[in-house]
Amino acid sequence: MTESEDHSHDRLKQHFAQRVIHQARLVLEVWQRLQLAEWSETGLHELRDAVQVLQRYAERFEQTDHFLLAKDLDECLQQVGDNRGRLNSELIVQINQLLQRLSRTGLRHSDRLEHVVLPPLRKPLYLALQHPERAEQLVQRLEFFGMHSVVMDSANAFRSAMTERHPAAIVMDVDFSGPKAGLQLAQSIQEGREQKIPILFFSLEDTDTRTRLEAVRAGGREFFTGTLDASNLFERIEVLTHNVQYDPYKVLIIDDSRAQATQTERVLNSAGIITRTLTEPIEAMRHLADFQPDLIILDMYMPECNGPELAQVIRHNDRYVSVPIIYLSAEDDLDKQLDAMSEGGDDFLTKPIKPRHLIATVRNRAARARNLKARMVRDSLTGLYNHTHTLQLLEDARFLAQRDGHPLSFAMIDIDFFKKVNDTYGHPMGDRVIKSLALFLKQRLRKTDHIGRYGGEEFAVVMPGTDAVSAAKVLDEIRKRFAEIQFSAEPHDLSCTFSCGVAQLRADMDSKQLSQQADEALYIAKHSGRNQVSVFAQDDSSV
């Protein structure tokens, strides 16, 4: 093959590679729209059409990961079609898992496309800063958090990029391409847009109120001065762009009538809500611990115990105090309905109920409950689980691992020489380091892993389905990459490291023993020179 033919071949491969990535993005966009409305037959057809196009593109371009994911998705959606457009909980779980894998899957190095530059699934961040060196440095630091950024060197380049692809957000120097020109440029690209692009303004010097007012009018959501810290910037962009994976609501249906429970299940499944049906109310507590629902739908009258009695039993457990309980019953006596709600219930729906009414009520109640729970169980600084909830998640994971015979690892992480960071650079810098490590862990660990702030500069990670050696390998790679982050500080930039201890659950072990072993492994890592991962061994040595 001549050099000219080789270049043409690369260009052709790049063209099709871009089509694969763009089609994968379209599939995800259709899926996300479905989460905000009922999973209608039209919407599911649109999703399947997009998946089939992705499958064709991926097969033609020999992108095995995308092809297999699209093939599995198409088979799931075919089952939905065979079921006359109705979903069940198993299909919902499968579809969500496949689409979440698709959102994390890009073209890999093994695809032998070293010369092909491909856009990621996630929209990029546009950087329009006065100083190119500062912008390039910021690009490198944001890459540590998995964020793709594009530097604009002129107003014309910025306008050209905007015509090709809209970004997730824009970081704009107020003086980009001239005094106050950045403000004017931002204003021009927002004109006529129904959904404004989040803009984060920056000024090297502090500014007056008038300039900040102009920034607000130009769509500015944040205003930074002096320095741009990558971790702070990333955190704000995550909040502004709502870049979180969709996690479907889970509803436990408790009704002694199998027919009624099945009807309720079908209605909720049609909206992409995962359900579990229980016709034996006496088994409720066991299923609550296993299923961890966002909401409970409870029949009023059942032979073994009535709904209000079961609601009180559920409320006796502190873990389920905030889980909404909705009664669904043919009881139309208002006084009896009010009495039932006074016994631990949150709402009362009377049969027969319109499907849209049921779906809307479940979604609204579940969303509020999730928000409330997040406030109760998460650390205010990092957004990670707090100490108490982390231990509860560890106990849940221990129960499931020993029941199912799966491995479970628990890791303790401690930032090295953290007191020195606080003493030398101040507590605000210490908070920045803690928040950065929290973001770093969230970016690089699996959705199924539970990350908690154990206290101060100490973190904990619950890793279901993972043996200690595999856990240590993952965490050691995170350790290496975290050490490369440079935090902007005076008189010179700062970098930090962490030490980590890992332990694996044994059959005869409880969660307290597991956490103690992880703590002992952390102690070994600290006293062996820090900046390393140590695995607890049964002979009290580290591997």
> Which residues are known to be catalytic?
457
For residue 491, say if its preceding peptide bond is cis, omega within 30 degrees of 0: yes
- For the beta sheet containing 325-329, the strands, ordered from the edge strand earlier in sequence to the opposite edge, are 274-278, 250-254, 295-298, 325-329, 347-350
Cβ-in-10-Å burial (0-12, 13-18, 19+) of 329 comes to buried
Give whole-number Cα distances, 191 to 39, 162, 168, 499, in Å: 33, 13, 17, 50
| Cβ pair 120, 106 in contact under 8 A | yes
Question: What is the DSSP secondary-structure string of 422-440?
Answer: HHHH-HHHHHHHHHHHHHH
Q: Identify the CA nearest to 64 among candidates 15, 111, 13.
A: 111
- With both helix axes pointing from N to C terminus, report the angle between 258-269 and 89-104 in degrees, rounded to the nearest 10: 20
Beta strand 169-173 with 125-128: parallel, antiparallel or unpaired? parallel
Long-range contacts at 278-282 (CB < 8 A, ≥ 24 apart): 278/252, 278/253, 278/254, 279/255, 280/256, 280/304, 281/254, 281/256, 281/305, 281/310
C-beta of residue 166 within 8 angstroms of C-beta of residue 219: no
Sign of CA dihedral 4, 7, 11, 12: positive
Structure tokens, 252? 């436990």
* Cβ proximity of 465 and 411 under 8 Å: no
Task: Tell me the CB-side half-sphere exposure of residue 103, using CA atoms within 13 A.
Answer: 20
